[in-house]
Amino acid sequence: MSKQRLLVVGNGMVGHHFVEQLVNAGGLEQFEVTVLGAEPDSAYDRVHLSEVFGGRAPKELQMADPEWYAEKGVSLILSCKAESLDLANKTIISEQGESYVFDKMVLATGSYPFVPPIPGHERKGCYVYRTLADLDEIRDACAGGRTGVVVGGGLLGLEAANALRLLGLETHVIEFAPRLMPVQLDPVAGDMLKNKIESLGVKVHVDTATDKIVDGEGALHRMMFKDGTHLETDVILFSAGIRPEDRLARQAGLTVGERGGITIDEQCVTSHPDVLAIGECALWSGKIFGLVAPGYQMARSAVSTLLGGETRFKGADMSTKLKLMGVDVGAIGDSHAATAGSQELLLLDRPSGIYKKLVTDETGKILLGAILIGDNSDYDQLLQFYLNKMELPDPTLSLLLPEGGSAKPTSLALPDTATICSCHNVTKGDVVAAVKAGNHTVADIKACTKAGTGCGGCSNLLKQVVDQTLTEMGMEANNHVCEHFAFTRQELFHQIRVGELKTFEQVLSKHGKGRGCDICKPMIGSIMASLWNDHILEKPHQPLQDTNDAFLGNLQKDGTYSIVPRIAGGEITPDKLIVLGQVAKKYNLYTKITGGQRVDLFGARVDQLPVIWKELVDAGFETGHAYGKSLRTVKSCVGSTWCRYGVKDSAGMAVTLENRYKGIRAPHKIKFAVSGCTRECAEAQSKDFGVIATEKGWNLYVCGNGGMRPRHADLFATDLSDEDLIKYIDRLMVFYIRTGDRLQRTSVWMENMEGGLDYLKSVIIDDKLGIAAELEDQMLHLIDTYQCEWKTTIEDPEKLKRFAPFLNSDEAYMPPRQIVREQAIPKADEELILIKELV
């Protein structure tokens, strides 16, 4: 039997997925397939387009090269835009005039960016953000510009804004609606997202309509707004939504929707029985689906239709989880509580920038929707409650709070029919079967099921199911740091140490794969700092740092930073105290004495950090490392120097310890305290390392902490001399640095250690492993190579460049302030009542 001619018009993500599914299903035995792609590049991942501006090579976005199509026997013709469709003769004519005849055809033409009909939108210097070719034009335009504007504050608009930001432009977002992402977010969530994005230096203008675009005076364009204001800019990106690319269908007389889109049924068949449509060009039940996962589902349905299968497209979930400029955003189902009788459960933590909303049915037992801002850790669990209509735990609020109540881990509760990966339609049962068949790593599961290889949003849940299944099989679950390194943090530490690896690139080349991520990069940066003690802002190390380390200061809720000089042991001279007051007054900084006996100064703009720190360094201050996963403070009482109950000089010991261990990087922050007697005024027994004076010496307590899950420290050794006390702390610190997991507090480290406190004593005191001298030598190296990171920074012009407010501008934005208790603090947000409906 001769093969039918199948023509696929469109080689985007959905078009490629269709071909891939057809090949896997044996469809090439029935069809001779030709694919027409309008772009010069074969299918690539548009979802991660902005990563090209962050250094990712365009080649890495490619989903399959032309050789793959040739190997499979599929004819791929690129740079071939379909010009017209003749249904009577079943022929497509290309722009070049070539004819392509078909028996069956699949339209996967996708969508095109909507450009509002603003007078002046066609000017040179105005672009859309859709293809690799668009990126090249935008990059060239930005090379000579200072300011860029994105018109549109939806998902694509914020991605485009990130692209401009990565190119070094002062970036603005213009949104017609009263909030960002108006389709997905409610007013509170939109406002919080706006604040977070503005804290990164992007200026957001909501409820703003552009009247026209004309010549600028200080820039290429002037955008005139309907309220009479204006904004000058060199580059304008339009990202105000998409429209289905249905031109061919309209021209040929296929049925299209009133507002666009090629009408299809559950089999993805259009009004012509031999023409199918999938992806963003298709209209199903009056809806256009603008995400990749529904497009993939349509592709599978179309393959089934052509091969006589039973798979049908019955709609798709439009929930989404993403990270916009480092900000977690999640939206599930009916996030606006539009369902009659629905109830809302809200959690608002403004200081931490976290907002979570659950929408339930009138019984409070079934999840209808959710919004997450600032923390997506609950997304996977909530999505499965929503998709599978599982009954919510009691109390429901436990889902949103730390140590989430009695709710069972999601993977335990899910039925085998639950969809884990909607992009590739992989269920929990599929994953479990694949694990039991011998695929014991997440990478193996991705390779054999394709789960997690689409949008990537299911990766965390996928790992949970894999780990759960391995545990049930009596096997050890994978504890690799991430998909780029098949090692634990401890194993990577030893690889870096033994191999004397000094850069992330060396580590990646020797022991990893891919380009790394926001998990492994800061972790490896921390390991190298713990081993080699290079300045963290040296050029090779800069890209590895998180937000706080990148600017040597703690980022605050309004986008400013805190200044925290070291005050060892809480001991400070009057002259230095006066300097702190003078600096705070000069720069209008909010001043607070902390629980760790330091003076914190809040409200410094990023461009002010170097000048403020120069004044402090000149006065003899050093960085307090409040931004780092390192020693924070050594709290103390006044001890025997002043107190009539003190038996030893606790303040002197605190100063000694803080100066000895300052700047040493660890898996997590570390806090000390020294009390001069058993009255314990310094609260030493709630610290990672607590020291209490006795008549015979010092008692050492270890692995305590305050915080969200307080833990009383354990007594490690008693009546120690000064020398033994320091020796044991040296060994303990380095042993923790070597063996602790990523972001693991000392308390959890010891709790997870086989043998616990007794084992730790045998290693540190009895030298059971024979490594005591090695641990001490490593500590001496760190002490000998200490540098004040701010002193080094202000002496290096290259390092100072990163503290400019924008790469191409000296202008700086100061968030609004209000005076409370005689000091300037951030202007108050609109208050929102925290609803605590404990059912």
| CA-closest candidate to residue 263, choices 248, 252, 276, 274 | 276
Which two tokens mark 417? 């029919």
Annotated binding-site residue? 517: no
| CA-closest candidate to residue 732, choices 623, 595, 631, 625 | 631
Annotated binding-site residue? 677: yes
Check: CB of residue 132 under 8 Å from CB of residue 44.
yes
187 Cβ neighbours under 8 A, 6+ residues apart: 178, 179
Query: DSSP per residue over 732-786, as a string?
Result: HHHHHHHHPPTT--HHHHHHHSTTHHHHHHHHHTS-TTS-HHHHHHHHHHHHHT-
Token pair 């922050």 is found at: 669
List 602's β-bridge partners, or say none. Answer: 562, 590
List 204's β-bridge partners, or say none. Answer: 173
Query: DSSP per residue over 328-380, as a string?
Result: EEEEEESTT--STT-EEEEEEETTTTEEEEEEE-TTS-BEEEEEEES--TTHH
Residue 522 to residue 543: CA distance in whole angstroms: 9
364 Cβ neighbours under 8 A, 6+ residues apart: 343, 392, 396, 837, 839
Residue 51 to residue 326: CA distance in whole angstroms: 12
| CA-closest candidate to residue 676, choices 660, 661, 659, 654 | 654
123 Cβ neighbours under 8 A, 6+ residues apart: 213, 221, 236
Give whole-number Cα distances, 415 to 98, 409, 457, 525, in Å: 52, 13, 20, 40
Check: CB of residue 38 under 8 Å from CB of residue 81.
yes
Which two tokens mark 707? 């915080």
Annotated binding-site residue? 423: no
| CA-closest candidate to residue 107, choices 304, 308, 289, 263 | 263
Annotated binding-site residue? 482: no
Residue 333 to residue 187: CA distance in whole angstroms: 17
The annotated binding site is made up of: 637, 643, 677, 681
Binding residues for siroheme: 681
The annotation places the binding site for [4Fe-4S] cluster at: 637, 643, 677, 681
